[in-house]
């Protein structure tokens, strides 16, 4: 029997039984398996473990000493793999790495997950802000939040909502330029540009029926959502902003929506994790809580 741990289990069962046949019955194996395991242990240790007779078996002095040490070792292994202990270790100790775009990661996620983190002092959230789709394997990311299509069979993804896009401008700018009635009219007006950090080029404005407007001569350029929103509020240009930035400003009148009839379908929002298994309980805990709060 090449597995030493299993051989020790057989040995302990034999020590607790009147004979090898009884030990085999308790283990649901044949008597030959017990005999072979004990013999291999004796050969490896160079000491007899049992006195054998027609009436049964009895531990030698060396066997008695080994039995105490073997039980201690086996109990330690059993405790390591005990389900309750393993679950507690997974939930309350360790790091969960999450990647999310800045619109969620800078403020919302830390605030939303704070109660859960306070309830699990051993749990550490490692939050990475990224506007691109992270390589969850290469970057050792456990969970991601993504806005937009997610078509990758490597991930377990849950939709949690949708995000609208609005073309908006400050009232002061509209007072100077007027309200564009068509997409082509918008192209001749001052526009802000949001840079795609992956390509280094401005994101186009997107409209229904898959139409797009390339931004070729922007009045303001940035790679940050919040900075673009600030520029629009200052009257520097028209922009297409995500709903979480635009809608509060529209409600207060600080921004005015235009071309709403041409708006594209809202983008889906996903929480995703790798398909790799097993999933640690701490990762599942954060994954489920992110789904709940983002909904």
- To which residue do tokens 């082509």 refer? 184
Instruction: Give the full edge-to-edge strand order of the sheet including 123-129.
Output: 123-129, 94-100, 143-147, 267-274, 155-163
Distance CA(235)–CA(238), nearest Å, equals 8
Does pTM top 0.75 for this prediction? no
What is the domain partition of the chain in residue ranges? Answer: 4-81, 88-162+268-294, 165-265
- Place domain 88-162+268-294 in its CATH homologous superfamily: Periplasmic binding protein-like II (3.40.190.10)
Which residues are bridge partners to 127 per DSSP?
98
- To which residue do tokens 């390509």 refer? 199
With 0-12 CB in 10 A as exposed, 13-18 as middle and 19+ as buried, what is 196?
A: middle
- To which residue do tokens 């520029």 refer? 231
Per-residue pLDDT of the chain (295 residues; tens, 9 = 90+): 448 888 888 999 999 888 898 888 888 888 899 999 999 998 888 889 998 877 778 898 898 999 989 888 888 877 766 555 545 544 557 899 999 988 888 888 999 999 999 988 889 999 998 866 655 555 578 899 988 777 666 778 889 999 999 999 999 999 999 999 999 999 999 999 999 887 889 999 999 999 999 999 999 999 888 899 999 999 999 999 999 899 999 999 999 999 999 999 998 999 998 776 678 888 889 999 999 998 8
Which class does domain 4-81 fall in? Answer: mainly alpha
User: In 110-137, which positions are buried (b, 16+ CB within 10 angstroms) versus exposed (e)?
Assistant: eeebeebbeeeeebebebeebbebbebe
Distance CA(170)–CA(80), nearest Å, equals 62
Which one, of 98, 104, 144, lies nearest residue 117 by Cα?
98
Which class does domain 165-265 fall in? Answer: alpha beta
> Which uninterrupted H or E stretch holds 20?
helix 20-27
Apex 87 CA angle, 83 and 90, nearest 5 = 140
Distance CA(195)–CA(214), nearest Å, equals 12
| Structure tokens that stand for 53 in this block | 């007779």
165-265 and 4-81 share a CATH fold: no
> Which uninterrupted H or E stretch holds 192?
strand 192-194
| Structure tokens that stand for 195 in this block | 């840079």
Q: Which residues contact 102 (CB under 8 A, 6 or more apart)?
A: 129, 131, 224, 225, 226
């Amino acid at each position: 029997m090449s597995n030493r741990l299993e051989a020790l289990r057989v040995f302990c069962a034999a020590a607790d039984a009147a004979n090898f046949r009884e030990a085999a019955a308790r283990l649901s194996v044949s008597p030959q398996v017990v005999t072979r395991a004990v013999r291999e242990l004796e050969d490896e240790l160079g000491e007899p473990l049992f006195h054998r007779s027609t009436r049964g078996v009895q531990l030698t002095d060396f066997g008695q000493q080994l039995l105490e040490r073997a039980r201690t070792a086996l109990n330690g292994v059993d405790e390591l793999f005990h389900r309750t202990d393993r679950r507690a270790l997974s939930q309350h100790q360790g790091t969960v790495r999450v990647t999310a775009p800045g619109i969620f990661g800078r403020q919302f996620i830390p605030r939303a997950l704070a109660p859960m983190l306070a309830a699990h002092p051993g749990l550490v959230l490692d939050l990475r802000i990224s506007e691109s789709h992270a390589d969850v394997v290469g970057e050792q990311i456990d969970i991601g939040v993504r806005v937009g299509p997610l078509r990758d069979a490597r991930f377990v993804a849950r939709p949690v909502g949708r995000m609208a896009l609005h073309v908006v401008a400050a009232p002061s700018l509209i007072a100077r330029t007027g309200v564009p009635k068509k997409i082509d009219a918008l192209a001749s007006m001052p526009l802000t540009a949001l840079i795609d950090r992956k390509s280094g080029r401005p994101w186009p404005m997107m409209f229904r029926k898959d139409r797009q407007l390339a931004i070729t001569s922007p009045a303001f350029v940035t790679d940050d959502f919040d900075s673009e929103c600030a520029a629009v509020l200052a009257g520097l240009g028209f922009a297409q902003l995500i709903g979480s930035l635009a809608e509060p400003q529209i409600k207060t009148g600080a921004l005015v929506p235009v071309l709403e009839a041409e708006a594209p379908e809202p983008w889906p929002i996903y929480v995703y994790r790798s398909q790799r298994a097993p999933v640690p309980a701490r990762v599942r805990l954060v994954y489920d809580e992110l789904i709940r709060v983002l909904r």
